[in-house]
Chain A
Amino acid sequence: MRDLSTPTEGSGYASAQVKDEARSPLIALIGPPNSGKTTLFNRLTGLRQKVANYPGVTVEKYVGQVQCNLERTVELVDLPGVHGFSARTLDERVTRDMLEGRLEDLSAPDAVVLIVDCTRLESQLMLVEPVLKLEIPTLLVLNMWDELEERGGNLDHMKLAHLLGVEVVKTNARVGVGVDQVKEFLSGVEIRQRGLPPPVHVLSNVPRGLPLPMIDAFTERRRRVDKVVDRVSFVRPGPARSTEGLDAIFLHRIWGPLVFLAVVLIVFQSIFTWAVPLMNGVELLITSSGEWLANRLSDGWFRSLLIDGVWAGVGSVVVFLPQILVLFLFLGILEDSGYMARAAVIADRVMYRVGLQGRAFLPLLSGYACAVPAILAARTVEDERDRLATIFITPFMTCSARLPVYALLIAAFIPDRPLIGWLMGYRAAVLLGLYGLGIMAAVVTAFLLKRTLLRAEPGSFVMDLPPYRLPSARSIGLRLLDRSKIFLRRAGRVIFAVTIVLWMLTQFPRLDAGPPPIEESALGRIGQVIEPAIEPLGFDWRIGIGLVTSLAAREVIVGTLGTIYGVENASDDSMVLQETLRRNLTPAAAIGLLVFFAFALQCMSTVAVMRRETGGWKWPMLQFCYMLVLAYSGAFIAVRVF
């Protein structure tokens, strides 16, 4: 296990120590999933938090500042929720490495706040022992104290503090009870002596150096936990009636699957219809600000770059922000309420048939908005092979970046005629078919993968079903804010760069009169080089360039075609673009292009995130080639069938 976290003594600790000079104390917040950890984190830090990735992995690192009192601020890290320190999942690995001070850009914590759900004291206290072994100041937070009392439970928290030798605080993080006491503890944390070697203790589920089988090690620890639980006179709370009542519906033999389907439908409906007015608003904002800017700049290459290049390019991506936010709003509500775990249980059997597991449901659903956060969400899939398979098929889910491409081509080539009366038209049917195509490809791919490269004994599936809770607007709001920041940062970097390069390629080689005709520009020549390869699909060089630029992000092809067809502001006036498309593409080739986009991995962000999540180029390259072959042959067949 040690080799998973390569020692970084040289660089890592040295730089951490340099940073020591002026840093405030760093405190790690850890706890099992669903213990209210993030709620407490949000209570403590509010808006003074930022998201970044841990070095090398895409586990999101939340660091925030806590203003304990007037003169004291400390840094708090919200570590991923874990049940143990086996390093079986990425989350556990990151948590372990951070606590041991083995992460490059973070020093070992000066103190630990361990939060547990005190209604389930016994199993939650299993984390205490390994944490205490770290021998750094620790605060044990007994969260959901109100719920414990409501359900008739009790325990002597002073005794618990005495037995464990740590401070103990009772909280109800949701409404903020006890948060001030946590702040009090934080204000007392001192920076550990500089130059001190990193802790020698190695966190693990099983004590190292003991030839004890794992089950026995756990049983031993459990016996000690039970002893503590006995001595603090823990009265176990009665059953949570509301959760039982809701489960009777949501996990009902008939109602359960029906509610599940309804939830999926509502999520879809929300992405594709309710988000549209918002997207139109954003689009209006972008175009009007572009026009405003254009009127203030003199005509020249700079205006062309800024308006036709940057504004149109970045704008075409920013438009998707509302859609992604609406999706994450729903996902946030579903997760925080506790329903998502039930959905995963219902989905598990079907997923299992394909070779996946129920936990893959959330990432795959997120994939309909964007594969990048979806691939990150796959880290909750505990089995490594299942996680890889989930990541591998996620890009087949029809992400929202495919939508503008589908919308353009469908509007241009598919007649607006009813297919099944008023219920469904040809256009809707084609769109639905494209979604189905993606799902089919995903199912077949997962099936194949689990029988070849990722063959494994079916793993044991254990899913925690947390009690149902009312989601807090505060937590979800903060998460949406994070999502927006991450999304905009991405659009700001990748898309910005691509549009500038693309624009420059259309401007050279320069003629006396100005930019060359598009066929003679550098971009046009590149397209003509590609043409022979895509001719069998019925695509000409213009589409070829679109395919190349859409490697950056799928929707870029819309803007690119706009530029190439010499239509100013393609996104404004897509009617003109549709006309031109109809002249340049046969209907069969248009279907081929749709199929191509359904399959191809035209998204560098996905490839980049794949590389980080799988720790190398092997999987992203394999996936890219696999999807390209599928896309090419799919389009090849489609052009001949239609």
Chain B
Amino acid sequence: MGSTAPESMSGLPKEEADVELRLGDIPLRQTVELVRIDLPADRAEPLLERGVLPGCRICPVRSSPTGDPIISVDGSLLALRRETADCLCVRLLSDFS
């Protein structure tokens, strides 16, 4: 974990394959850092435009009645689908919480 310095902003190769975490697996209120978006560019664009970028901090704050995640990014609330959340590779922030 220590090898991944904070400046690893953009789509890095899968060097952390062993600890590959998806946003969908993260419990509520656990802030994580986005590592990679596993979506083709055109489908990632709506996410990127709303600040969901590699390197950003994401916190799942709630789960919708249908079990889809609602996340907080830069103070904005965003609702995603489970399927989309499963395309977001994240890593835990060990120095927090």
Contact = CB atoms under 8 A, between A and B. Distances in A.
Tell whether A and B belong to one assembly.
yes
B49 A120 contact: no
Contact of A465 (B53, B54, B66, B79): B79
A254 B65 CA distance: 7
B70 A236 contact: no
B75 A119 contact: yes
A86 B49 contact: yes
B44 A460 contact: yes
Given A219-B10, A465-B70, A251 B62 contact: yes
B44 A462 contact: no
Nearest to A127: B49
A611 B73 CA distance: 39
B27 to A, nearest CB: 16
Contacts of B52: 462
Interface residues of A, number: 50
A460 B51 contact: no
Contacts of A460: 39, 43-44, 46-47, 80-81, 83-84, 87
Interface string B11-38: 1000000000000000000000000010
Contacts of B41: 213-215
B45 A88 contact: yes
B93 interface: no
A83 B87 contact: no
Interface in A210-227: 213-216, 218-219, 222-223
B50 A215 contact: no
A253 interface: yes
B78 A463 contact: yes
Nearest to B73: A123
B74 A120 contact: yes
Contacts of A459: 43
B42 interface: yes
B68 A345 contact: yes
A464 interface: yes
A467 B78 CA distance: 11
B42 A462 contact: no
Contacts of B76: 120, 123, 464
A88 B46 CA distance: 9
Contacts of A237: 75
Contacts of A222: 51, 53, 55-56
A372 interface: no
Contacts of A119: 75
Interface string A83-110: 1101010000000000000000000000
A524 B74 CA distance: 68
Interface stretch (A172-180, A346-354, A631-639): A346-354
Given A213-B11, A215-B10, A243 B81 contact: no
Contact of B45 (A205, A236, A349): A205
Contacts of A126: 49, 51
Interface in A369-383: 382
Interface string A472-492: 000000000000000000000
A463 B79 contact: yes
A88 B45 CA distance: 9
B64 interface: yes
A222 B57 CA distance: 13
B9 interface: yes
Contacts of B50: 83, 123, 462, 464
A247 B62 contact: yes
Contacts of A346: 64-66
17 contacts: A84-B45, A119-B75, A121-B74, A205-B49, A215-B10, A215-B11, A219-B9, A222-B55, A254-B65, A346-B65, A346-B66, A349-B68, A460-B46, A462-B47, A462-B78, A462-B80, A464-B50
In the A-B complex, the 9 residue pairs with the closest CB atoms: A123-B51, A349-B66, A83-B49, A465-B77, A84-B49, A256-B65, A463-B79, A460-B84, A218-B48
